[in-house]
Amino acid sequence: MASAASELDAPTGERRATADLSIEKIAGELTALLGPGKVSVRSDDLELHAADKWYARNLPDMVVFAESTQDVSKTLRFASKLSIPVTTRGAGFGYVGGCVPVGGGIALSVARMKKIIELNPADGVAVVQPGVITGDLQQAAHAVGWDYPPDPASLKDCSIGGNVATNAGGPRCLKYGVTKNYVLGLEVVLADGRVLRCGGRVHKNKTGFDLCGLFTGSEGMLGVVTEVTLRLIPKPPARAMLAAVFADFPAAATAVQQILNRGHLPSALEITDSFTLAAARKRLGPDSLPEGQAHLMVEVDGRPSAVKSEIKELESLLQELGAGEVRKATTPKECEALWQLRREFSYSLRDTGLTKLNEDIVVPRSALVDLVEFARRLEEDTGIPVACFGHAGDGNIHVNLMVADFEDPAIREKAENALDQLFAWILDHGGAITGEHGIGLAKKPWIRQALGDVSFAVHKTLKEALDPQGLLNPGKFLD
Ligand SMILES: Cc1cc2nc3c(=O)[nH]c(=O)nc-3n(C[C@H](O)[C@H](O)[C@H](O)COP(=O)(O)OP(=O)(O)OC[C@H]3O[C@@H](n4cnc5c(N)ncnc54)[C@H](O)[C@@H]3O)c2cc1C
């Protein structure tokens, strides 16, 4: 296996001049081009743009704080003339090292482009700049009775541009889909500085190839997203939730299938395994959760009367399927308390003092039990504890390898061998190595295996067509 470690070992702090120009000279020319206050070579700015929430870091040579599409276009035209690498950064809340500027050069921040340009319920669209924080857009839509459903757990911090570039998901994808299902139109600056517009503000559009689909999920390697037109939907006026504990994981997974087979389409279906529950009981006290080795949370939303009758039916169904105590939440405050309990599960894993390698794998839903059984075997074989929980309805389970210290080379090697086994199993069982976080650096070693030779070659062809010099986010999964 090629090792992700090689990316981590990229020389930190190496500052390269381009051709015969010094970094200071390049920064000066860019400042003259963009105007004052938009280009920085200050070490604190370089540090702040060296990493995301994964483990790799590398300093850029300079940071450009773009404030408009023109700034992005001028920067890319300039960079392309001088062959300077450019790594776009949204909020830096990625989980796979995607915005780490491993090639040095320019870290292009779009964080200042954070205007909600238009919220238009009549057309069911929002037009936003890429630096808008996802949670802010959601709040703004709610304020006018509308909704932008994609809800990554990081929504208070991550940006819409980052969500588009990673095709972010979240707990409500089962019913509402992922980011790409809401992207109607994009403005993208290409590597040579040209500005491309694709899609538009209509809800159906079959004009030409699906370029919005191509750029969505392209992890900053095909262009820089500078404006996004998103689909909004009417906000469901009511929601309610159930939380149940089952004797074992297979019983909870059976409940997932039964809920869907009986014609329910919950907005969320979250499952949690015994390792995570044990950690939660330690954090919250032994009586915090009824006895049982698996936890299931179900959320439904819609018109108030429909939600009321559906939650009653689901409560009976869970009891019929052998759930222990079933907790019900019917007000926004009670629902929030149950989601808070779910969030405590993650914090409980942190309490173990181990480092969580959060792998957002996906399996066909019928393989959930096999996956968790495999995780137990992996734990026994490698001695690395494995915690599984996540979006059961999508088969998108976060498999967390709990390691002592990922930066210790011996531990990292052992963890990467365990990841090798995990991803091989996932691919053998018709799954995907990432459902929402993307490839970035974290999953680069497994990309060819995951895509296959022909698909990988087509990816490279597309990259070469749009970015012939390979300047956009170099060092990532196509290199
Ligand atoms: C605690 C936590 C919970 C999370 N939960 C979820 C979850 O539930 N679901 C989920 O999907 N993800 C989740 N994530 C991962 C992360 O939040 C998402 O990947 C998010 O979309 C990243 O957005 P960002 O603005 O932080 O992007 P960044 O980290 O800044 O960048 C991510 C990638 O997008 C590219 N990029 C950013 N902006 C642009 C742009 N304007 N144009 C072109 N390329 C761009 C970057 O080059 C990079 O490759 C979580 C992360 C954390 C830390």
300-313: per-residue pLDDT in tens?
Answer: 999 999 999 999 99
Instruction: Please give the C-alpha separations between residue 227 and each of 73, 127, 243, 455, in angstroms, as whole numbers.
Output: 13, 7, 39, 29
- Residue closest via CA to ligand 1's atom 9 equals 152
Interval between CA 470 and ligand 1 midpoint (Å): 21
Q: How does pLDDT run across 26-84, given as a tens digit for each residue?
A: 999 999 999 999 999 999 999 999 999 998 999 999 999 999 999 999 999 999 999 99
Q: How does pLDDT run across 373-428, given as a tens digit for each residue?
A: 999 999 999 999 999 999 999 999 999 999 988 888 999 899 999 999 999 999 99
Residues 6 or more apart whose CB falls under 8 angstroms from that of 47 comprise 59
Atom of ligand 1 nearest to the CA of 52: 29
Q: Report the topology of domain 240-428.
A: Vanillyl-alcohol Oxidase; Chain A, domain 3 (3.40.462)
Is the confidence at residue 20, as pLDDT, over 70?
A: no
Residue percentage of the chain with pLDDT more than 70: 96
Question: Looking at 7-21, 353-367, 449-463, which range is the least confident one?
Answer: 7-21
For residues 386 and 379, is the Cβ–Cβ distance under 8 A?
A: yes
For residues 82 and 21, is the Cβ–Cβ distance under 8 A?
A: yes
Identify the CA nearest to 161 among candidates 79, 104, 77, 230.
230
Residues 6 or more apart whose CB falls under 8 angstroms from that of 462 comprise 214, 222
Architecture of domain 4-112: 2-Layer Sandwich (3.30)
Domain locations along the chain: 4-112, 116-234, 240-428
What is the chain's percent helix, strand, coil content, to nearest 5?
Answer: 40, 20, 40
| CB crowding 96-127: b at 16 or more within 10 Å, else e | bbbbbbbbbbbbbbbbebbeeeebeeebbbbb
Distance CA 52, CA 362 (A): 23
Q: How confident is the model at residue 14 (pLDDT cuts 50, 70, 90)?
A: very low
User: What value does the mean pLDDT take over residues 358-379?
Assistant: 94
Q: How does pLDDT run across 316-328, given as a tens digit for each residue?
A: 999 999 999 899 9
Identify the CA nearest to 148 among candidates 118, 180, 126, 175.
126
Q: Report the topology of domain 116-234.
A: 3.30.465
Is the confidence at residue 199, as pLDDT, over 60?
A: yes
Which one of 89, 441, 447 would you pick to mutate in the ligand 1 pocket, going by the greatest count of ligand atoms within 8 A of its CB? 89
User: What value does the mean pLDDT take over residues 156-160?
Assistant: 97
The DSSP line for 124-147 is: TEEEE-TT-BHHHHHHHHHHTTEE
Is the confidence at residue 4, as pLDDT, over 60?
A: no
For residues 228 and 128, is the Cβ–Cβ distance under 8 A?
A: yes
Atom of ligand 1 nearest to the CA of 220: 44
- Residue closest via CA to ligand 1's atom 11 equals 168
Name the average pLDDT for the chain.
93
Distance CA 249, CA 253 (A): 6
Protein residues with CB under 6 Å of any ligand 1 atom: 52-53, 87-95, 98-99, 110, 130, 152-154, 158-159, 161-163, 165-166, 168-170, 219-220, 224-225, 436-437, 473
| CB crowding 429-447: b at 16 or more within 10 Å, else e | eebbbbbbbbbbbbbbbbb
Interhelix angle 304-320/249-261, rounded to 10 degrees, is: 140
pLDDT at 342: 86
β-bridge mates for residue 359, sequence order: 399
User: What value does the mean pLDDT take over residues 356-363?
Assistant: 94
pLDDT at 18: 57
Phi, psi for residue 228 in degrees, rounded to 5: -130, 130
Which one of 158, 396, 444 would you pick to mutate in the ligand 1 pocket, going by the greatest count of ligand atoms within 8 A of its CB? 158
Interval between CA 156 and ligand 1 midpoint (Å): 12
